[in-house]
Amino acid sequence: MIVKTPRERAYLAKSGNATAKALVAGANRVVPWLTPKDVDEAVERAILAEGCEPAFKGYRGYPCASCVSVNGAVLHGIPDARPFEPGDVVTIDTGSVYKGFHSDAAVTVLVRGGANDLEKVRLMQCAEAALVAGVGAAMPGPVQAVSEAISRAVLASPFRLVESYGGHGVGLTLHEEPFVPNYPPSYDRLEVGSVIAIEPMVTTGSGKTIVDADGWTIRTADGAVAVHVEHTVLVTALGPVIFTKC
């Protein structure tokens, strides 16, 4: 378990604030006839305006400042020029780097006016409830407490968690130990000063996934709509602190 010093936590707080502002800027571009590329450009401008660098751009060869995943895409959607349409469910996932320290967060936005908007809103509410539950459980002690809180929140709904993917430690690299699964079990422990990205992914379908030919985009195997939300969180003795709160 990698524990952050007070100075490192301050850097992470600066990074997280930039990520939060970038997500707001990107979400404001999720409207009919704009595109994922428009979102990505807004995200990158916002990160740079805060004196940070995009954490995703160049990471393992990834080409953009953000991932923009639409409808059945769960993670790592490469921003393209397809215009948004009413009914699209759009996840924006991005991160910032400040003095070498990374943050990571995601929001999902619905382009209103499509078919089945009510079910999509409920799916988004389920994912948000799972994120709130997971963050609330991020206390010194077993990582499994976070996993159990997330899975309980989703089990109480008609939806399912996406299989195989989850959260992670974050700091000097974008992905650190521990893995933070959305399903138990987990055998790691959180300590005061741990920083983790908590990220429920919820779908209307089976939860199974495939990887697109681009080698990046992870989508539901059955084409079902998915929602992904995420925060970077500091573990303290008094309770979790969200670094990426908008």
Cα separation, 18 vs 102, in Å, equals 10
Asked if pLDDT for residue 65 goes beyond 90, the answer is yes
Asked if pLDDT for residue 176 goes beyond 80, the answer is yes
Asked if pLDDT for residue 246 goes beyond 90, the answer is no
Overall average pLDDT of the 166-182 stretch: 97
66 in a structural domain: yes
CATH number of the domain where residue 85 is located: 3.90.230.10
Overall average pLDDT of the 174-192 stretch: 95
Overall average pLDDT of the 108-132 stretch: 94
pLDDT for position 116: 80
174 in a structural domain: yes
Mean pLDDT across the chain: 97
Asked if pLDDT for residue 124 goes beyond 80, the answer is yes
200 in a structural domain: yes
pLDDT for position 115: 79
Asked if pLDDT for residue 114 goes beyond 90, the answer is no
How many structural domains compose the chain? 1
pLDDT for position 210: 98
235 to each of 47, 104, 238, how far by Cα in Å? 24, 15, 8
Domain boundaries, position 10: 6-242
Overall average pLDDT of the 238-242 stretch: 98
1 in a structural domain: no
| Secondary structure class of 20 (helix, strand, coil) | helix
pLDDT for position 239: 97
102 in a structural domain: yes
Cα separation, 7 vs 108, in Å, equals 31
pLDDT, tens digit, 9 for 90 and up, residues 142-173: 999 999 999 999 999 999 999 999 999 999 99
Cα separation, 143 vs 179, in Å, equals 9
